[in-house]
Amino acid sequence: MNPKVLKTIALIAASALSAIIFAFLLKSVIALVSLSSVLLLVLGGAVFLAIFLMMTLLLDSVWPVVGAVLLNLVLIAVVGSFRPSLMLAGALVLAFLWMVQAYYGGRSELKNNLEIHFWQNGRAVISKASSALALFAVVLYLTTFNFNNPAVIKGYFVAMIQPIEPIMATYFPVPGVSNIIQQATDKSVNIFYDATVGRFLQLPDILQNVILFVVGIIIFLFIKFSLALVNWPATYLAYGLYRLLLKFGFFKIELQNRPQKVIVLT
């Protein structure tokens, strides 16, 4: 088989594997929010984005990349066991188009410059791809909410508060403080649930969908501004992978004489 075909398949396979790992990590964060699970998710996202950047730099044929992007997004949704919905389908389409646009932008940068500006091109590609991934992850997260099951929703609230409980116990070292904090947490969760989700469920379906959409936008914007936590590690990781693949002959850099028509003043 043609070595280029084998290398293309290897990149797509690595990308698919990173998507599967990201799906498992996202699922673990949704199940239990903790610092370690979030950091692992950030690392998983960085690996996924680094491999996507490698595909952008090394694959000049668009169709393998288009197929890989679609496959990866579907894998994330399926492996994560997320419920199918119209909102999920819409997010998949938007994320797909955003990542394909990131690929086209990266390839255009390579073709229109005489030098390979890895950092400039890499940051631009990863910035767009990470935004697409964040959008998809937010929608996947929202699809896990079962508002008809109060225990599940309250479990999410408790999971968000639990990381604070040991800190509070440290600052208030009195006998039985853990039980007091636990009782306070349960009461706070019940009050918060009644004031938010309880009232939310009384609204018409169309208004519920509008509110979910707005909440999703807010979460997405928050994540987008926080993406520096992923973009920089992903870019450095991609550069390390880039140098490693170059060293082992996975690809090579060569000079080409490309005639080009230009417009000049006479």
Per residue in 152-177, pLDDT tens?
666 666 666 665 656 555 655 555 55
Domain extent, residue 55, equals 3-133+228-247
Q: At residue 198, does pLDDT exceed 80?
A: no
Mean predicted confidence (pLDDT) in 180-209 = 71
- Round the average pLDDT of the chain to a whole number and report it: 80
Q: Answer whether residue 198 is part of any domain.
A: no
Task: Supply the pTM of this predicted model.
Answer: 0.77
Per residue in 100-145, pLDDT tens?
999 999 998 888 876 788 888 899 999 999 989 988 888 887 777 6
Q: Answer whether residue 116 is part of any domain.
A: yes
Cα 27–16–117 angle (5° rounding)? 110
* Euclidean distance between CA atoms 3 and 58, whole angstroms: 13
Mean predicted confidence (pLDDT) in 198-218 = 75
Q: Answer whether residue 237 is part of any domain.
A: yes
Structure confidence at residue 266 as a pLDDT band (50, 70, 90): very low
Q: How many helices (H) and strands (E) does the chain have?
A: 11, 0
Structure confidence at residue 209 as a pLDDT band (50, 70, 90): confident
Sequence-ordered list of residues with C-beta below 8 angstroms from that of 232, at least 6 positions apart, any chain: none
Q: Answer whether residue 203 is part of any domain.
A: no
Provide the b/e sequence for 7-45 (b: ≥16 CB within 10 Å).
Answer: ebeebbebbbebbbbbbebbbbbbeebeeebeebbbbbb
How high is the pLDDT of residue 150? 64
Per residue in 219-242, pLDDT tens?
777 776 666 678 888 999 999 999
Q: Answer whether residue 73 is part of any domain.
A: yes
Q: At residue 261, does pLDDT exceed 60?
A: no
Cα atoms found within 13 Å of the Cα of residue 107, Cβ hemisphere only: 15
Q: Answer whether residue 100 is part of any domain.
A: yes
Q: Answer whether residue 199 is part of any domain.
A: no
* Euclidean distance between CA atoms 172 and 144, whole angstroms: 35
Q: At residue 214, does pLDDT exceed 60?
A: yes
CB 80 within 8 A of CB 24: yes
Query: 15-19, 50-54, 210-214: which has the minimum mean pLDDT?
Result: 210-214
How high is the pLDDT of residue 83? 73
Q: At residue 195, does pLDDT exceed 70?
A: yes
Whole-angstrom CA distances from 185 to 120, 158, 189, 195, 216 are 47, 7, 6, 15, 25
The total of other beta-carbon atoms located within 10 Å of residue 183's CB is 10
How high is the pLDDT of residue 96? 96
Question: 38: which 2 tokens?
Answer: 């979030």
Mean predicted confidence (pLDDT) in 243-247 = 91
Q: What's the structural domain count of the chain?
A: 1
